[in-house]
Structure 1
Amino acid sequence: MSCVRDLLAESTLLGGDEARREAEVLLCAALNKPRSYLMAWPEAEVAETLVQRYRDWLLQRSQGVPVAYLLGARDFWTLSLQVNESTLIPRPDTELLIEQALALNLSDSATVLDLGTGSGAIALALASERPRWRIVAVERSTKALEVAIANAKQLGLERVRWLSGNWFSGLDERFALIVSNPPYIAEHDAHLDTGDLRFEPRAALVSGVDGLDDIRKIVSQAPQHLEPEGQLLLEHGFEQGSAVRALLTATGFLNVASYQDLAGHERVSGGSWPGMVR
């Protein structure tokens, strides 16, 4: 019978700098134990059914399948979210968008719109921090929307209103804040054929020749859906900050700025809308 130490040694199947860490994550999930168990009980024998589960995951990971898809979950902000092949995998970079949204001086009952919600990560993180905000989340993929609704139920955050649609289609209300992590990768970007991106839904990643098609749509249409002095915050690629600021400024947004992630890259940009559009 295999023991914990022997199973972790099989991490060599994965290769790369993250092999050991990922093997630990997969084995913890197979055993339903914390990482401390692996450290404290390296000689513990593991039931054959659990060994097989772990080895199946290890094999799939060696073929590139993201750990989040293997386990069906990913931690984001303070939440554990269900994910699958219909949703993007929430990433730490997007937490900067949450931080900037929470830093805004909005009322306790502000209306907030999350465009392209995917697994619901942004909407649910904001709902968990601001219980009185009235949050609407829009998603064009029905399968992704099902995941978001399931996450809301699991987390007890069912007050978020979920809508099926493409960006602003069908919306006739105005919001104090619009947030979005839209597709922003150029259609011929070589990164699409590397790492986890190979397995994530292409429609949620790619946005035209320069990666800005969807951001252009959102920026141009947002004024019709913002309250006076309403805020727009967008996640974008680390080299797109200047282009997004130019779009915001040309459309008429004020106080346009970009915000850096922990690596020092401009990852989120936004601005305020000065008044109503008729």
Structure 2
Amino acid sequence: MEEQYFTQAPTSEHHYQEVSLDLNDVHLTFKTDNGVFSKNRIDYGSLALLKAITKSADFVSGILLDLGTGYGPMGLYLAKTFPDHLVHMVDVNERSLQLAKENAKTNQIDNIKIYESSCYDNVEEKFAGIATNPPIRAGKTIVSTMLKDAFDHLVPGGQLWAVLQKKQGAPSAKKLMQATFGNVKVVAKDKGYYILQSVKEA
């Protein structure tokens, strides 16, 4: 069976590549490898989510969490765009985390904290914002946990931002976020991707 990107310790042979992200005058380069999510290019859903967050007039200030960071494109972009914010970047995949650390050095970004966590298992902080492009292939239970348990890891007024494709569960994610937070907004729709936002009301 083919190794998945949410494997904790990938054993596939290394095949390093470089991909880049250009958005809103921010240019970043990333080293990628076999056994990680979206190794050939920055995932379109991640880009759509970053576009929506950076366009938002009411985006939060405070500590942020990139939940399921992969090799780091979302977390490092947020850290570069919001240099006064500390960005926590977590993933279950050890190879992804090593790449994220290398990519932080390459792009000279240090307002970050990168560590291993399956969902929120090793996450102790409460955040002003949580952004996630959840690993759909890991199954509905994992995705639901990432969305539902965000509530307990946000400060009052904190925001959860998530991107999912309509055909891969966006409608059910929207219902779950509404049930958990009492509110949900479709901030944008972009080529079949839904950008969803919920706020933990004070």
Q: Give TM-score, length-normalised by structure 2.
A: 0.81
Q: Is this contact kept in 1: 2:52–2:187, CA < 8 A?
A: no
Structure with bigger gyration radius = 1
**Structure ranking higher on relative contact order (CA contacts 8 Å, 6+ apart):** 2
Alignment partner, residue 83 of structure 1: 32
Q: Which residue of 2 aligns with 1:242?
A: 171
* Contact kept? 1:114, 1:179, Cα under 8 Å: yes
Q: Greater shift after overlay, 97-106 or 218-227?
A: 97-106
Q: Is the 8 A contact 1:233 1:271 kept in 2?
A: yes
Query: Judging changes above 3 Å, is the alpha-carbon distance between structure 1 residues 93 and 221 closer, same or farther for their aligned structure 2 residues?
Result: closer
Structure number with the higher helix fraction is 1
Distance in 1 separating the partners of 2:70 and 2:124: 22
Q: Give how far 1:101 is off.
A: 2.0
Q: How much does 1:253 deviate?
A: 3.7
- Give the unaligned 5+ runs of structure 2: 1-13
Whether 1:136 and 2:88 are equivalent positions in the alignment is yes
Instruction: Kindly indicate which of the two structures has a greater share of residues assigned to strand.
Output: 2
- Matched-pair contact (CA < 8 Å) for 1:256–1:272: no
The amino acid across from 1:134 in the alignment is L
Q: Report runs of 4+ in structure 1 exceeding 6 Å deviation.
A: none
- The alpha-carbon deviation at position 250 of structure 1 amounts to 1.1
Identity %: 22
Aligned CA distance change for structure 1 residues 71 and 166 (closer, same or farther; 3 Å): closer
- Residue 58 of structure 2 corresponds to 105
In 2: Cα distance, 1:106 partner to 1:268 partner: 14
Alignment RMSD (CA, Å): 1.9
Equivalence for 1:207: 138
Query: Unaligned stretches of 5+ in structure 1?
Result: 1-68, 185-205
Change (3 A) 1:70 1:170: closer
SS where residue 243 of structure 1 aligns? Answer: helix
Tell me how far 1:71 sits from its aligned partner: 6.2
**1:183 and 1:238 mapped to 2: Cα distance?**
14
Conserved? CA contact 2:45–2:193, under 8 Å: no
Matched to 2:105, the amino acid is: K
- TM-superposed deviation, 1:99: 1.7
Is structure 2 residue 202 aligned with structure 1 residue 270? no
What is the deviation of 1:114?
0.5
Question: 2:94 touches 2:116 (CA, 8 Å); kept in 1?
Answer: yes
1:222 aligned to which of 147, 150, 153: 150
Change over 3 Å in CA distance of 1:96–1:104 after alignment to 2: farther
User: Is 1:73–2:18 an aligned residue pair?
Assistant: yes
Q: Quote how far apart the aligned CAs of 1:104 are.
A: 4.7
Q: Distance in 1 between matches of 2:83 and 2:188?
A: 25
